[in-house]
Amino acid sequence: MNNPLPSMKSIFANAFPYYIVFSALIFGSIRFSPNHTPLYANFLITGILGIWAFVYFWRRTPVPYAITFKNLETVRLDNQGRHIIYYCIAYMLADLPILWILEDTLLSDSIMYTVHHVISVMSCSLTLNYGRSEWFMIYLITCEITNLFFNGQFLLEGSPYQFPCQLLFLIGFLGYRMAFLIRGAIHYMVHLFKQGKYFDLFVINIGIVVGTQLHFYWTYLILQKIALLFL
């Protein structure tokens, strides 16, 4: 790719139109949905992001063994790939106010997701600004495809389709996110550490470092809920 690296100003300028649309969708969902919930907007926004990133990544990486440290680190994105990251940045920013507005959100969850969103925005923007680990970022954003089932299970609450949706989310989270994506992320972070690329690891990819830890915490919560079903 010969695209010049975008400046921070350019990155947020490109994310801004998405931000306006997403903010309108989220607040519209809260205002007009039956239960005054942002879930309808979240289902739509994260679903599009997940499918877009998943198709984009796997159409260019046809087999798992084609994923190497070298291409995760050095492959540059075209304009479509960059817009996936702009889209992701915009969603994280648009979702921030909701974490503090909804009364039924626990304070601990508001803090956790705020930290996650802010650090993720920082990593996404630095990835584009420095032109490093761009392919790795798209690799991880494909995880959003599992949110189709995560949000879907709440939208289908009380229907016979809720349990299949919960099961698909469980398979997607533990099988795709944890066993594949997060395992790959850990190997990649160890690779950067061994190469002495500490700026790439602890600054550009700090969102991945934090996000990986959060995934282990979320896995603990999921397994805890599964265990309670058998007690």
Would you put residue 139 in left (φ > 0), alpha (ψ -120 to 50) or beta?
A: alpha
In a domain, 74, yes or no: yes
pLDDT of residue 62: 64
Query: In the chain, which residues have pLDDT < 50?
Result: 1
pLDDT of residue 65: 61
pLDDT of residue 63: 67
Gap between the Cα atoms of 81 and 75, Å rounded = 11
In a domain, 118, yes or no: yes
Q: Report pTM.
A: 0.94
Gap between the Cα atoms of 124 and 89, Å rounded = 7
In a domain, 60, yes or no: yes
In a domain, 137, yes or no: yes
CB 49 within 8 A of CB 91: yes
In a domain, 3, yes or no: no
In a domain, 1, yes or no: no
pLDDT of residue 9: 97
In a domain, 215, yes or no: yes
pLDDT of residue 64: 64
- Domain residues for the domain of 179 are 8-229
The structural domain count of the chain equals 1
pLDDT in tens, 158-202: 999 999 999 999 999 999 999 999 999 999 999 999 999 999 999
In a domain, 185, yes or no: yes
pLDDT of residue 228: 87
pLDDT in tens, 111-121: 999 999 999 99
Task: Give alpha helix (H) positions in the chain.
Answer: 8-32, 39-60, 69-74, 79-95, 98-101, 107-130, 134-141, 147-155, 162-171, 183-194, 198-199, 206-229
